[in-house]
Amino acid sequence: MSSTTSPFPDRIELTGEGLVLRDWTEEDLAAMPDLFDHPDTAYWTPLASPFDGVAARGRLDKARRLRAEGTTILLAITTDGGAALGEVMLRCAPEGTELGYAVGPAHRGQGLAARAVRVMAAYAFEELGVEQVILELEAENASSVAVAKKTGFRLLDVPLIEGEEKGRPYVLQTWGLNRP
């Protein structure tokens, strides 16, 4: 992959806010089901459910493919570069530069999502030169709405996004954070 085909380097490690956001590796495959095979994750995210070893392999392969295509980076959230505690995403799309996240149930309540969002937003602003990052959230997802508010995002006056995922209809609000 050359830098002309992707805005992302082959390897990424971002630090800040007491976190190390790093590439997923083969060594993470065994831990991924514990992070993502949970009813809340299945309900609020497009991640596979059940999230088993096959889904973990698919997620790692997808992370590598999307990076190579230059559209998306999926990074493990860690505190020290070691054990993964969740995932943070940055996706470059026509509608905007979108962030997303999922934190394993055993690691919630530590501010990991908010901290990872701030680190990833800083990367988007400083390294990619974007003017705004967005979050697309269901209004009923109180935890994610709290993360949006805690990290300075504001609800944007744009049309709602309606769709269906895993047989469940959803309506997403768009929240935005502008470059400081």
Give the pLDDT confidence score for residue 28 in this predicted structure: 97
Tell me the C-alpha distance between 176 and 180, whole Å.
Answer: 12
* Structure-block tokens of residue 95: 């509608």
DSSP 8-class letter at 105: G
Residues 6+ apart with CB under 8 A from 139: 145, 171, 173
Burial class of 76 by CB neighbour count within 10 A (0 to 12, 13 to 18, 19+):
buried
Q: Is the pLDDT of residue 58 over 70?
A: yes
The pLDDT of residue 5 is 61
Q: What is the DSSP string of 24-57?
A: --GGGTTTHHHHH-SHHHHHHS-S-SS--HHHHH
pLDDT surpassing 70 at residue 1: no
pTM above the 0.75 mark? yes
pLDDT tens per residue across span 121-145: 999 999 999 999 999 999 999 999 9
Q: What is the mean pLDDT of residues 137-166?
A: 97
Give the model's confidence band at 6: pLDDT under 50 very low, under 70 low, under 90 confident, else very high.
confident
Average pLDDT over residues 110-123: 98
3-class DSSP state of 96: strand
